[in-house]
Amino acid sequence: MYEQEFKSEPEIVLALDTSSRKTGLALLRGRDAPRSVTIESDERRSEKLWCDIESLLSESSIAIREIDLFGVCVGPGGFTGLRVGMSAMKGLAAATRKPLIGVTSLEAAASRAEPASVVCALVNAYKGEVYSQLFSMGRDGLPIALADPVVSTLSDALARASSQGALVFAGDAALENAELIESVVGSQIERERSGDQAEGRRVLNNSSYSLAIDIARLSYLKHSRSRSGNAESLRACYVRPAEAEVKLSLGLVGSKIKRSLKSG
């Protein structure tokens, strides 16, 4: 396996996030401050991606062969964007024979919380829904999953998290719905205080951070701990079934095929 050729601590990490409607790139180089760029995506995202990567590397005076470790968001998020990003990083990792680490968007969102915190990561799933997952933050900076990721309405996600005490909400969906979350958990705090069990809950404001930077940092931490990661083992975390799978389960795809056959 090509990742076995990589023995030392990674000095340069390149991370990519295509889970949302924007493309995020981040570069970690030793102890230097991370460099990142966020690009509005369009229908030509897959065509422009290499140019975006090349531009960031050129500005940092780094060649692709100098990258020690690649990191990529594996979801949950947009199906097409995830496939584009994962395919690109699999190709780069295979071509350079360097390791590749997958990080979920929920892990990345949770990673900004303080160690020992319990975090409810909320990521926008659109269609009136959110992806959510509970984590505890390890002292090594890695989120530890307390439950599987789920796609649901925000109210259902908050209901699932209500059994927790001190809780941090993180992620783009948490920030977008901060007032609603604070109004809901605020009433819970008042009830708990009346029972002499005051618990703190808050929404983490991480709007100024690039998810790609968190993916780069978590990729480094994951690799430093396990020294593993390769293109063959990378798996997407979709959570929500693809639209084609839903149609197939409802028999819609088959019906269309049958109608087209009859008309032919």
List the structure tokens of 217: 């940092």
Any idea what the Cα angle at residue 137 is, between residues 132 and 143, rounded to 5°? Answer: 60
Residue 257 lies in a domain: no
- Interval 65-89 mean pLDDT: 96
Backbone angles phi, psi at 184, to 5 degrees: -70, -55
143 and 162 belong to one structural domain: yes
Question: Can you tell me the distance from the alpha carbon of 155 to that of 203, in angstroms, rounded to the nearest whole number?
Answer: 15
Residue of 102, 63, 85 whose CA lies nearest to 16: 85
Structure tokens at 75: 């979801």
Shared-domain flag, residues 31 and 58: yes
CATH number of the structural domain spanning residue 122: 3.30.420.200
Q: Residue 185: what pLDDT?
A: 76
The CA distance from 159 to 54, in Å, is 44
CATH number of the domain enclosing 237? 3.30.420.40
Are 12 and 125 members of one domain? no
Q: What is the pLDDT of residue 254?
A: 54
Q: Please count the CA atoms within 13 angstroms of the CA of 245 that sit on its side-chain side.
A: 6
Range of the domain at 189: 113-203
**Whether residue 196 sits in one domain with residue 129:** yes
- Can you tell me the distance from the alpha carbon of 4 to that of 223, in angstroms, rounded to the nearest whole number? 12
Nearest Cα neighbor of 185 from 159, 153, 220, 223 is 159
Same domain, 61 and 20: yes
Split into its structural domains, the chain has a count of: 2
Indicate if 79 and 117 belong to the same structural domain.
no
Please give the Cα distance from 29 to 33 (Å, whole number): 8
Q: Residue 67: inside a domain, yes or no?
A: yes
In whole numbers, what is the pLDDT of the chain averaged over residues?
Answer: 83
pLDDT at 187: 58
- Residues 242-258: what's their mean pLDDT? 50
The answer on pLDDT for 61 being more than 50 is yes
88, part of any domain: yes
Q: Is the pLDDT of residue 186 over 60?
A: yes
Q: Of 153, 187, 188, 189, which is closest to residue 173 (Cα–Cα)?
A: 153
- pTM to 2 decimal places: 0.84
